[in-house]
Structure 1
Amino acid sequence: MKKSMLLSFAAAALLVPAAALASAQSEIVTAATHAGFAAAGKDLATVHMHLHHTLNCLVGPSGMGFDAKELDPCAHAGSGAIPDAKSAAAKTALQAAAAEARTGIAETDLAKAQKDAADTQAMLKKAE
């Protein structure tokens, strides 16, 4: 009995990191998808909206730049790709993508905002 309980706890412990890793991965994929939507946006409002979705997925509800007035397509996936990332290198890459998304959100020129969105998507594709 003790042995089977011990094995159950060990198995559960192994699943937790995998679940956290899976949530970060799904958040990155979703963020990249919305960055792509932003890059294809036909007007500045659409580009900004999808970049907000991207940023919300990356930083999570407690992160810098999270906008509760905008959709969080990763709301049920985890705490945000950056907080859920396990390695320092992954966090650094995702923080750079978040900074690029913030640049696009602040941009008032459509073509430049679309480029920022495309650059954000490319950065996230590398992080997948």
Structure 2
Amino acid sequence: MITIRKLSATIVAAGALALFVLPAAAGDVKQQAATAAAHAGMAAASAEMKMVKGHLQHVINCLVGPAGEGFDPAQANPCKDQGFGAIPDAPMDKMPALQAALKMAKEGAAEPDLAKAREKAAATQAALGKISM
């Protein structure tokens, strides 16, 4: 027969275990930001619009993760083994910078002008570089 005391002790132990297990399950935000920054750099250096847009989609995929809005499963997710996406894995203090980088990447991916898209990619890389430090 389970007593209230045993049940309470079990709940407390499970809660304490979750405190140690859940952070370990979260991804490495700095690594995901660094990977996304690398792809933003590849986009900025690309001479073809198709490559700029493709690498910026990789950035978006890294930032939002597979369950996030804007994730394109038809494109690569270079952060797939690094976590659930930089934004879902991020602590609150990193969220504004990641959201700003995501906005820049989306704007770059939607930009029809190659030079402007590359500029957005370079700005995205710079923003993500600050997060991955």
| SS at structure 2 position matched to 1:42 | coil
Q: Post-superposition shift, 1:92?
A: 1.3
Question: 1:76 matched to which residue of 2?
Answer: 81
| CA–CA separation in structure 1 for the residues paired with 2:19 and 2:128 | 29
TM-score when normalising by structure 2: 0.81
- Alignment match, 1:36: 41
Give 1:77 shift.
1.1
Distance 2:17 2:67 in 1: 30
Q: Which residue of 2 aligns with 1:113?
A: 117
State the match for 1:57 in structure 2.
62
Distance in 1, matches of 2:121 and 2:34, equals: 14
SS at match of 1:90: helix
Code of the residue aligned with 1:115 in structure 2: it is: E
d(CA) in 2 for partners of 1:29 and 1:56?
A: 13
The amino acid of 1:50's aligned partner reads: H
> 1:115 is paired with a residue of what secondary structure?
helix
Q: RMSD of the alignment, in Å?
A: 1.9
How many residue pairs end up in the alignment?
Answer: 118
| 1:18 Cα deviation after fit | 5.4
Identity of aligned residues (%): 50
Per-residue deviation, 1:23: 1.7
Aligned match for 1:94, one of 93, 98, 110: 98
Give the Cα separation in 2 of the matches to 1:16 and 1:61.
Answer: 19
2:127 maps to 1:123: yes
TM superposition shift of 1:17: 2.5
Per-residue CA distance 1:60-82 (angstroms, 9 max, x = gap): 01112111110000111110000
